[in-house]
Every structure is written in structure tokens, then in C-alpha cells.
Structure 1
Amino acid sequence: MAMIESGSSPAELLPGEEQPAASISVLGVAADPDAEEGLGELLAGDPLADADRISVPTVTTPAAAPAHVDAADCVVVGSDLSEDDSLELLETILERDRTVPVVLLAHAPSRAVRDALTELDWTDRLRPAATRSERAHLADRIRTVVGYRRVTAMARRSLAALAHGSDAVAIVAPDGTVEYVNPLFARQFGAAPSEFVGRPWRALFPDAEVSRLAEDAFPSLADGWRWIGDCELRRADGSTFTAQTRIDALDDDSLVFTVSDRPVDED
């Protein structure tokens, strides 16, 4: 568990790397989301609603929150939740995905709630925001805690790529877009590394090969297996070549594609 300290920055985890300006979807959870001066008003109000990259599509009750946790980049827990509701919500997040960042708004949470927070990977605790500066601080803390989670996930995927450093490697984010390719991959596919970032992984294969992978490789990955086979791949100029391709699925649904010239029967 990491309780984020004020003033820290996700960029410190990857010195010299510019962090992508990805949007942040916040789930607010309150006993009474529509209460006057409650969490719903706070998250919809200025300056949080105007904060760069932050959107708040849902503010809901503890009972309805589990249906929205999977789609959230960050959960903000309102100060009006009872201890029991807070503990149940934190337990739900722990069971669904302990890496989802949680920001708890509370003056003095109980020992049980504090202990439950320590079970999660990324958390922060602030007093309920009342002034404009406090709301701006909340927006900053949301960006920070989400940024730490994203940078850590990227670092983990990069380490996975380094484990295959003698081959051409591409890391694909959970949304299906290429997040990183190593120099050997870029040379093999005939373009600069930056030209691959943000493109769908399907662009690396002819359409028929994409369909074959969907039917053959991805069911194996879903069952926890690594897939290896000969694939037809597509270079940046549209030409194709055949190579042994290995696909690994990581815990966060990212994919690692490893491409080599070795025939399958050499492994």
C-alpha cells in the first residue's frame, strides 16, 4: 500500500519521461450524493470540474458503487459515509482491483477504516474540501495518485519487455493500443518507435491474422497460458513477413508481443 505524500510527483518514478495527458474518470461515493454542499456538488463544482483531464461521470451511493468501480480511475469516498459503508466499499475495491486509487475525505477516520486503506495499493486522505483552494488541492491529489498508478503499471510492463531484450518487443496497453516498442521491434517493422505508440495492435497484422489470433491465441491467454506461433506480420510500409510470435498477458490485461526470426520448433 502507498499513501501518497503531499508534494510528490509520479514523474519522479521515471526521471526524464514526459507523462501522457490521459483523462481521469472519477467515481464519487456518498451516503447522499445529491445533498446540498455534499460530494456530488463538490465533484461537479469549480475548480474540480474544470481541472485538466478530470471527469466525474458518476456520483453514487455505496450500494450502487460496485457496478462502477471497474470503470473508475479513482474513487473519492465522501465524508458522510458511515464506518460500515466505508469498510464495505473498501473491501469491494480490494476484491475487484486493489490498485484502483482511493481518496478518502474525512476529518478523523476510525482505526478500522485506516487499516482498510492500508490494504489498497494507492490511497490518499484529505479533510473534506470546502474552499476553492481545498478543491483545487483535491484535484491535484487525484491527478497525483492516479499518475503514480499509471507510471507504476508502465514500469512493470517495461520490465516485462526487458526480460525479452534480445527480441523485438511491443507492449500493448489494456485499451489495445501500443504503448511501447523497443528499438529492435521498430527496426524490424520499419518505422521509428514513436510511430507505433497509440496505434492499435491489430495494425501490426493483416486482417486474416488478426482473426486467427482472436480465435486461437486470445482464448489461451484468457486461460492464463502464453501463446507462441508463426504469424504473418505487417511492416509500416504495408509489406508482410512471417516470424515466430509470442504473446504474454499481464495481470492488468496488458499484452507483450515478442517477435523473433526463430522457427517455432527451435523452442
Structure 2
Amino acid sequence: MPELPEVETVRRGLEPAMSGARFVDAVARRPDLRFPFPDRFEERLKGRDVTGLGRRAKYLLADLDDGTVLVMHLGMSGSFRIEGAGDPEMPGVFHHDRSKAAAHDHVVFTMSGDKTITYNDPRRFGFMTLVPRNELDDHPLFKGLGVEPVGNRLDAAYLDQALRGRFMPLKAALLDQRIIAGLGNIYACEALHRAGLSPRREAGSITRKRGAPGLRAERLTEAIRAVIAEAIEAGGSSLRDHRQTDGSLGYFQHRFRVYDREGEPCPTPGCTGIVARIVQSGRSTFYCPACQR
């Protein structure tokens, strides 16, 4: 599943074509994706202006001029393709041709400005819905989500408080969307390695019972924020199905320190450890047993 940096990269790619534009037409070519489309989905979009395009966790949020929000989730394999007459190709370093599998083009938005935005999703795990803006925070998709890993609310004091008294493995706690919204498996592994913390240790063990947060919480907070920011700058990781909206691949995977590097030497200076892989909650965890404690 695309993680937060990939979703943010898609948002930035869509923004010039969507923000400030109008839905001239909207066509859903099937009645559902992961979930059924809401009633009158196409009708409710036609003629509406997009006043802004945002993101919450792994959700894309297009604010409309009638107070409604178009909520979009990429699922496992969803992607957007932007096309327009006269548009130059912007292939990027790892360019792949855009998919020509029209059978998987499930939603087509015709926008003002001669732009067409096509949602392609071979596995159909993505979805779209419409939610009133004033009800968004209480909607089941968003209620209870934790802080953003790129926002100012994520600091050592918050992490210390959120993890205090938790006996679950530290990595499992980081993947709890009620604590940090949008942090996924790849970047949790990378952040833990940068912070020198084992994914196996109890989450509460990096906190203090009283007083200011400790060094471990500070290191982990800084590592999370840094790895997410660098991945966004790099255009995401593009593992498996992810593509940027211009058809090019991101390249943060070339900066991975431990993820998917089982059996390779640990890149930490002076460390002689070997990157190991374990399974936690059904997911692969990559870490260095020598320097992550």
C-alpha cells in the first residue's frame, strides 16, 4: 500500500490540475471500488469547483465549493494519470510508460483547463466518497486518527505521553494510526534504525514516568520527521505499483538503510552488524540487531 510520502507526492502532482479547477464531467465506470460509490456521485461532482486539495494520513481530500469533501484513497494499487492537450511529458529519472490497461481506468474526471484525471486501480482496493466538511473529523474514516508525522504536533513530549505504559512492541505502536496517522511499515523500519531503537523493545520503555521526555523519545521523533520529509522530497519509494502522477517512479528506495536489505551490512558507521528480517503482526520488519537496542 502506498505510504504517506507516496500519497503526498500524488497530492502535489494532482494539485495544479485540480485545485481551483471545476469538474466539467465525472464518470464512474463501475458501481464500486472497494466500497460502492455514494449516491449520485457523478451528479454531485459535476459543476463543482475545487477550492483546495489536501491530505490527512493516507487520504486525499478535495474541498468543493458546496462544503463537501471528495475523499480519495489509493488502496493497494490505485494511481492517477493526468492528461491534457499539449502537455509535455515529465518522465523523471525512473520513467515507466503509463498503463494502457483501460479496463482498470475506473473513474475519469474532466476538469476545466483541458485536463483529464483518470483513476486506475487494478486491484480495486481504493475508494472514493463524499463527506460534508463540517462532519469530516467525526467521520469513521478520520475519527480517532493520531497526529501527522510531518506536523508540529509530533514532538518528543507527545510521543512520550502516547507510548507511556504501552507493552506492545515499539514498531507495532508506531503503526497504530491512533498514535501517528499515516506512518507505515517501510518508514517505521527506517526511523527505528536511524534512532538506534529495536523494533522488538516495549513501546513504553522509551518513555519516562515523569519530567521531560528522554533521549530515546527525542531521537525517535526526529528520525520519524526526517525520514518522512526526505521521502516526500524524493517522490516516495515507488515499491511495486506506485507511480507519481506524471508517470515517473520515486526513488527513496535507493536511500533505504534497512528496509528490504536482509543479509546486507548495517550502514551505521562503525557497526559490524547484518540487517535481519523478522515478522511482526504479519509484516516484515528489517533492522540491525547489533546497533538497534
Structure having greater relative contact order (Cα 8 Å, sep ≥ 6) = 2
- CA radius of gyration, larger in: 1
Structure richer in helix, relative to its length: 1
**How high is the TM-score relative to the length of structure 1?**
0.31
TM-score normalised by structure 2 residue count = 0.29
